[in-house]
Structure 1
Amino acid sequence: MVQSINTKVDLVIDATSHMGLAEYGKIMIGDKGFEFFNSRDVRKFYQIPWEEVDYVIASVMFKGKWIPRYAIRTKRNGTYTFSSKDPKKVLRVIREYVDPNRMVQSLSFFDVVKRGLKSKFSKK
């Protein structure tokens, strides 16, 4: 069994990890960090301490009505992508531990296309 890094738990919710193939499990948010535990395989888990979190990136659609997924970018180990039953609740709890200036929206589809076209046709 995996030992949790949290001493106090604020939220436990069903979630999906989008690292490679989708893995189903539970997200646990507490005073020490963000944790994901796989439902089927106890060896598959992610534990991210709050000191290691660089940015929290939310994919926002329909002017904030729907948040399909969010990602946690760490300082050393890359980006971890998750989705959950109630993403707004998860992001509100994360906001207690991460600076709100470090919580950003991801680029929309049109922003990505516009950025690509600008770089394609810009003079070097």
Structure 2
Amino acid sequence: MVQSINTKVDLVIDATSHLGVSAYGQIMIGDKGFEFFNKRDARKFIQIPWEEVEYIIASVMFKGKWIPRYAIQTKRNGTYTFSSKDPKKVFRAMREYVNPDHMVQSLGFLDIIKRGLKSKLNK
């Protein structure tokens, strides 16, 4: 059995981890960190302490009406991508522990194209 790093839990919600092959489970947000527990295999879990979180990146579509997935970028271990049933509720729970300036929106399709063209023209 996996030991949780949290002493107080704020939110538990069904979610999907998009790390390699998609895994279904639950996200637990608490006072010590962000946790994902796989439903089928108890050995597959992700625990990210709040001190390790660099940015939370949201993929926003239709002017904020729909957030299909979001990513947590850590200081040392890379980026973890998740999706959940109610992402706005997850963001509100994470906002208590992460600086709101570190919660950013990912680039859109046209922004990526503009950035690529500018880099080609500058060379």
TM-score normalized by the length of structure 1: 0.98
State the distance in 2 between where 1:19 and 1:121 align: 35
- 2:30 corresponds in structure 1 to 30
- 2:88 corresponds in structure 1 to 88
Output the aligned Cα RMSD.
0.6
Alpha-carbon shift at residue 117 of structure 1 (Å): 1.1
* Structure 2 gap segments, 5+ residues each: none
Structure 1 residue 118 and structure 2 residue 83: aligned?
no
Counting aligned pairs with the same residue, the percent is 81
Q: Deviations over 1:22-56 (max 9, x none)?
A: 10000000000000000001110000000000000
SS for the counterpart of 1:82 is: strand
- 2:57 corresponds in structure 1 to 57
Alpha-carbon shift at residue 120 of structure 1 (Å): 1.3
One-letter amino acid of the counterpart of residue 42, structure 2: V
One-letter amino acid of the counterpart of residue 69, structure 1: R
Q: Deviations over 1:32-86 (max 9, x none)?
A: 0000000001110000000000000000111100000000000000000000000
Alpha-carbon shift at residue 121 of structure 1 (Å): 1.8
State the distance in 1 between where 2:106 and 2:89 align: 18
State the distance in 2 between where 1:45 and 1:60 align: 26
State the distance in 1 between where 2:28 and 2:10 align: 8
Alpha-carbon shift at residue 118 of structure 1 (Å): 1.0
State the distance in 1 between where 2:32 and 2:113 align: 38
SS for the counterpart of 2:42 is: coil
Moved segments of 4+, more than 4 Å: none
One-letter amino acid of the counterpart of residue 87, structure 1: P
State the distance in 2 between where 1:96 and 1:76 align: 22
Alpha-carbon shift at residue 96 of structure 1 (Å): 0.5
* Structure 1 gap segments, 5+ residues each: none
